[in-house]
Structure 1
Amino acid sequence: MSPEVRSAVMSKIRSKDTGPERRIAELLSALGYRWESHAKDLPGRPDLVFMAQRVAVFVDGDFWHGWRFSQWRDKLSEAWEAKIEANRRRDIRNRRRLRRMGWRVVRLWEHQIERDCDKCIAKILSAIEGA
C-alpha cells in the first residue's frame, strides 16, 4: 500500500463514536443511564463519563491501544510500533491521573464488547453503583 493510500484509509477510522462505543451507549441508554461523552476537561477524554458518580469509561480498540501488544509488535513497521507504544504509555498516564483525582476508571476492550457485551455493561454498572 502506498503512503498516500494508507493515509486515505487511516483517515477514515473514527477516534470517537465507534461501533463498540455506540453499542455500549445504546445498552446503557436502554437501562435509563445518562452520561457525558468525551469530556474535554478530564485526562484522556474518556468515552463515557458519569460525573456525579465520578466514573470514567474508556472503550479501547484492540489495535490502536495495543491489546497483547508484545505478541504482535514485531510485525509492525518502526513507526507503527512507536505510535502504538506511545498510545499505551499515554493510556496508563491518563488512567493514573484520573485515579489520583478520585475517579473510578473502567477500561473495556473492543474484543470484550464483541464477545460479551452484557458483562461489559455489568462492569460499568458495578463501578457506578459502587461510587
Structure 2
Amino acid sequence: MVNPKGSDVFTPQDRARVMRAVKGKDTKPEMIVRRLAHAMGYRFRLHRKDLPGKPDLVFPGRKAVIFVHGCFWHGHDCARGSRQPKQNAEYWRTKIGRNVERDTDNLETLASQGWRTQVIWECEMKDRDALAERIRAFLD
C-alpha cells in the first residue's frame, strides 16, 4: 500500500490516521447484509452488548446471530484474508491470531447458550443472490 506521500512506508502519523478510519460497526459489508436481511423481511437487533462478541445482527425470536467479518481482520483463508502485512508483521500476526481465538471463543459461548451462529465474510459480498440464499437457509 502506498501512503499519500508516495512512499511505501507510512509515518507513524499516517498510520494512526489510517487506523482511526477503520470502523468496528456499520461497515460497508455489514450494511450490505443488514439491507439484504431487512429487504427479505427479517427483523433484527444490532450489536447486543449482552451477548459474547456483540453480534452484528441478532434475531432474538429465532435465537440466531450473524457476524459480518472483514477477511483481513478476522484471518479468513481467502486471498484478502491471507495476505501478510510487510510492516510490523509480527504485531499483525499476533493481533489477528488473537482476533481468531476470540471469535472462536465467542462462537462456542453463544452455542453453549443455545444461540445459532453464522459468520458471513467480506469476500462473500460479491454474489448477493447466493448471500441472500445463505441468510434465508440459516434463518428459516
TM norm. shorter chain > 0.5:
yes
Q: Which has the larger radius of gyration?
A: 2
- Residues 44-86 of structure 1 show CA distances to partners (whole Å, capped at 9, x for unaligned) of 0110000010111000001100112895448561111111110
Aligned to 2:135: 124
Q: Does 1:19 align with 2:28?
A: yes
Contact conserved, 2:55 with 2:66, CA < 8 A, in 1?
Answer: yes
The separation in 1 between residues aligned to 2:82 and 2:60, in whole angstroms, is 36
Instruction: Give the deviation of 1:122 after TM superposition.
Output: 1.8
Task: Report the residue type matching 2:131 in the other structure.
Answer: C
Task: Report the residue type matching 1:32 in the other structure.
Answer: G
Instruction: Give the deviation of 1:120 after TM superposition.
Output: 2.0
1:84 corresponds, among 96, 99, 113, to 96
Aligned to 1:39: 48
The alignment yields a C-alpha RMSD, in angstroms, of 1.8
The separation in 1 between residues aligned to 2:65 and 2:120, in whole angstroms, is 11
TM normalised by structure 1 equals 0.89
1:3 corresponds, among 12, 19, 28, to 12
Helix, strand or coil for the counterpart of 2:19? helix
TM normalised by structure 2 equals 0.84
The separation in 2 between residues aligned to 1:106 and 1:13, in whole angstroms, is 23
Q: Does 1:62 align with 2:74?
A: no
Higher RCO (C-alpha under 8 Å, 6+ residues apart)? 1
Q: Does 1:111 align with 2:123?
A: yes
Instruction: Give the deviation of 1:118 after TM superposition.
Output: 2.2
- Residues 13-65 of structure 1 show CA distances to partners (whole Å, capped at 9, x for unaligned) of 11101111111111221222210011111000110000010111000001100
The separation in 1 between residues aligned to 2:32 and 2:40, in whole angstroms, is 13
Over 3 Å counting, the alpha-carbon distance change for 1:72 and 1:116 in structure 2 is same
Contact conserved, 1:38 with 1:46, CA < 8 A, in 2?
Answer: yes
Identity %: 39
Helix, strand or coil for the counterpart of 2:134? helix
Greater helix fraction, Structure 1 or Structure 2: 1
Contact conserved, 2:72 with 2:83, CA < 8 A, in 1?
Answer: no
Contact conserved, 1:35 with 1:49, CA < 8 A, in 2?
Answer: yes
Aligned length in residues:
128
